[in-house]
Amino acid sequence: MGNILVIDDEPGLREFLEIMLRKEEYDVETASDGLEGLERMKQSRFDLIIVDIQMPRMSGIEFLREIKGNGVTVPVIMITAFASHESAIEAMKLGAYDYITKPFKVDEIKLVIKKAIEKKNLEIENKRLKKELEDKYGFGNIIGKSEAIKRVFELIKRVSELNVNVLITGESGTGKELVARAIHYTGNRNERPFVPVNCGAIPENLMESEFFGYKKGAFTGAVKDKMGLFEEANYGSIFLDEIGDLPLHMQVKLLRVIEEKSVRPLGSTGSIPVDARVIAATNRSLKSDVEKGLFREDLFYRLNVIVLPIPPLRERKEDISPLAIYFINKCSAEMGKDIRGISPRALEVLETYNYPGNVRELENVIARCVALESSNVIRSETLPQQVLGMDAVDYDSSISSDVNLDDVMDNVEKRMIEKAMRKSEGNKTEAAKILGITLRSLRYRIVKHGLIYGDDGDDSDRIIELS
């Protein structure tokens, strides 16, 4: 139930407290004064300390001042005679948990001890949960080694401590919510709530009551007060995912909340102050929506204080390997399977695929493979058809079926060019050598297959978009 240190110069009281606490199933150690108590603390870890104020050599006050000065956070209960009441007040100012006046009732001290131990256990649990959240949503869960993802790490570090609104942009499945959580849990609001909201998932007629709450009787069915999402996120962060899906009338109300830092629940005559950091995300171009009249310009600039773009997975192929290993370990543990790795051929195929669904699609692919794999290594034949692409074509059966040979060969040629360009890290001269063709021929085929690249005169240009 807890390890308790009792420090008192009266042998009878020490013995009484030791017997009583052991009956309550606590582990107990004793010391006759503050100096001996300090020695005990070097040898053991305690969940609670009970110390008398009046003692020779080192008083309870001196003992308390010493351990608090060393950063010890163990709760301390002071025992005091009525005559030393002022000393007890001083002890409370120094950080004592509570004090008990002699003579005390047994039930009284039992209750105080129980509450102090519960408080200590709650602090430990809160620290554990905080560490768990940091591990789950901090940088450790954003996997990658590419320069692009390193830039994302750097931006998260820079903005997490700033009290400004952030707009995260990126395609669906790139991990925008994971980045939003990393910003929150590595920042100075990490002990406060993180409230995620999918703006596209809330019915339009319920948006106002969900965002701002309502008072009892505000409408039919409002049988009690309801706290809104902004109030729930007070002193923390609210993550507005797919902010571009908000209708115009809600954009007006959101702008007012951001500007005035207050909300007015439905049916209320007064406003409630809120201090919630807004982290928004979108897979659309809000600037284009502003030009089309679909998104308010004033709200756009309120949200657009700091923009954090998340690159798609096809632009950071170096991250596929570490991500695949991470998801294999994660899915194997969740499914209770013993998958120890991935074959070089399977990894090569994964690195070739374009991932329209980004990281989320890669995770789904790995989860499927882990579920279906019969060996302890992910093999290429376990990969789904859409990832295998042309590698999965059965040429013998294709000959007897209604297949256009020119289309098949074009696809093969296109995939070989893509692989050569990746292998040469975008250097067209090197890619041409790999393919055994001239640089001019390679340039012609790149244009033929709709592979877009930069200035034709720079041999180090990379393919930046694959059709």
Does 138 reside within a domain? Answer: no
pLDDT in tens, 127-142: 776 666 555 555 656 8
Domain end call among 392, 411, 430: 392
Domain co-membership, 162 together with 114: no
CATH number, domain containing residue 380:
1.10.8.60
Q: Are residues 37 and 59 in the same domain?
A: yes
- Examine residue 13 and state whether it is found in any structural domain, yes or no: yes
Pair (417, 271) in one structural domain: no
**Residues 160 and 114 grouped into a single domain:** no
Residue 456 forms part of a structural domain: no
Domain contains 397: no
Of the three residues 311, 338, 355, the one that is the final residue of a domain is 311
Task: Please state the domain count of the chain.
Answer: 4
Residue 87 CA to residue 68 CA, distance in Å, equals 16
Residue 156 CA to chain centroid, in angstroms?
A: 11
Closest by Cα among 323, 363, 310, 318 to 156: 310
Structural domain contains residue 467? no
Please check whether residue 460 lies inside any domain of the structure: no
Whether 322 and 306 map to the same domain: the answer is no
Nearest alpha-carbon partner for 383 in 411, 413, 355, 424: 355
pLDDT of residue 132: 62
Task: Look at residues 286, 311, 336 and tell me which one is the last residue of a structural domain.
Answer: 311
Same domain, 179 and 292: yes
Would residue 137 count as lying in a domain?
no
> Does residue 185 sit in the same domain as residue 160?
yes
Residues 114 and 221 reside in one and the same domain? no
Residues 6+ apart with CB under 8 A from 43: none
**CATH number of the domain that 159 lies in?**
3.40.50.300
pLDDT of 165: 93
> What is the pLDDT, as a whole number, of residue 172?
92
> Has residue 114 been placed in a domain?
yes
pTM over 0.85: no
Query: 67 and 198: one domain?
Result: no
Pick out the chain residues at pLDDT < 50. Answer: 391-400, 454-467
Task: CATH number of the domain at 83, please.
Answer: 3.40.50.2300
Neighbours of 150 (CB within 10 A): 12
pLDDT given for residue 448 in this prediction: 83
Same domain, 24 and 77: yes
Tell me, what CATH number does 442's domain have?
1.10.10.60
Same domain, 210 and 186: yes
Domain span at 333: 315-392
183 and 249, same domain (yes or no): yes
